[in-house]
Amino acid sequence: MNVRKLSENWKRIEQRVGEAASRARRDPKSVTIVAVTKTASVEIVQALVDLGVRDLGENRVQEFARRAALLKEWLDQRSASAATTAVRPRWHMIGHLQRNKVKALLPWVDVIQTVDSLRLAEEIDAQAGKIGRVIPILLEVNASGESNKTGVAVAAAIHLAEQIRTLRQLDLRGLMAMGPLSDDRERVRQAFGRVRELFDEIVGERVAGPQFRELSMGMSADFEIGIELGATCVRIGSALFEGMELPAEPAVTES
Ligand SMILES: *Cc1c(COP(=O)(O)O)cnc(C)c1O
């Protein structure tokens, strides 16, 4: 594994995030970078943690649990052998979540960014209750309006947020959205702009409480537009591994 390349890529992304924040007259520290590791090896995940990466994102429950468990073991061993306690990263679920996978995910996840239905929210609430946790979540919004995309429709999001508010084991922290798969920056800007308006409306009408502050918007190709429109979280995968060999993503999703 090429740690130096990984380190260069990470620094470059931090720099670009900082520059985008400055252009938008925002504090660079107001934007969290979630490193999306997907097919990267556990060694790469460890190297990222050593580089100071504090937020990790995964999209498949099985891989999520396996990596989070391995990383915890690695950090526990370190803490045992060194005087300092290692800083534990936060794990973000960023992939579509099926209800029958919630139970396996909950012991490992810090934030679920992809809640897009009441049924899913209720299942998380029920399972979280059993283990006595309150789970920070984001509502995933279908920003582009494309029917093949996951996420709740913009027009239905406020109602869903109101319903989620009644679930005691869920802590609604904000919104998450994916931009349209398009090189047309104006279309991306419009889609993110709609999500920003929705965010402002939820805050303005006090649909959610004061902890509703997060806007997860932007990936490798469009994070600068996300930051321009107020993203507090960007999810970066491919840009982090540029120039490095990684296995391709499995074509079939787990069932
Ligand atoms: C894979 C993925 C990302 C990262 O995408 P890149 O284009 O590789 O940066 C971000 N968000 C979600 C939901 C993803 O599935």
Q: How far apart are CA 214 and CA 233, in angstroms?
A: 7
Q: Are 60 and 95 in contact (CB under 8 A)?
A: yes
Residue nearest (by alpha carbon) to ligand 1 atom 6: 237
pLDDT confidence of residue 167:
97
| CA torsion angle 110 116 119 123 (round to 10) | -10
Q: What are phi and psi of 162, to 5 degrees?
A: -65, -40
Query: With a 6 A CB cut-off, is 218 part of the ligand 1 pocket?
Result: no
- Side-chain half-sphere of 140: how many Cα atoms within 13 Å? 21
Pull the structure tokens for residue 174. Answer: 């904000």
pLDDT in tens, the chain (255 residues): 789 999 999 999 999 999 999 999 999 999 999 999 998 899 999 999 999 999 999 999 999 999 999 999 999 988 888 766 678 899 999 999 999 999 999 999 999 999 999 999 999 999 999 999 999 999 999 998 887 778 999 999 999 999 999 999 999 999 999 999 888 999 999 999 999 999 999 999 999 999 999 999 999 999 999 999 999 999 999 999 999 877 666 655 544
pLDDT confidence of residue 146:
81
Can you give the pTM of this predicted structure? Answer: 0.94
Query: With a 6 A CB cut-off, is 237 part of the ligand 1 pocket?
Result: yes
Q: How far apart are CA 24 and CA 17, in angstroms?
A: 11
Q: How far apart are CA 119 and CA 24, in angstroms?
A: 37
Residue nearest (by alpha carbon) to ligand 1 atom 12: 94
- Side-chain half-sphere of 111: how many Cα atoms within 13 Å? 24
Give distance in angstroms: CA of 220 to centre of ligand 1. 7
pLDDT confidence of residue 255:
42
| Cβ neighbour number for residue 217 with a 10 Å cutoff | 32
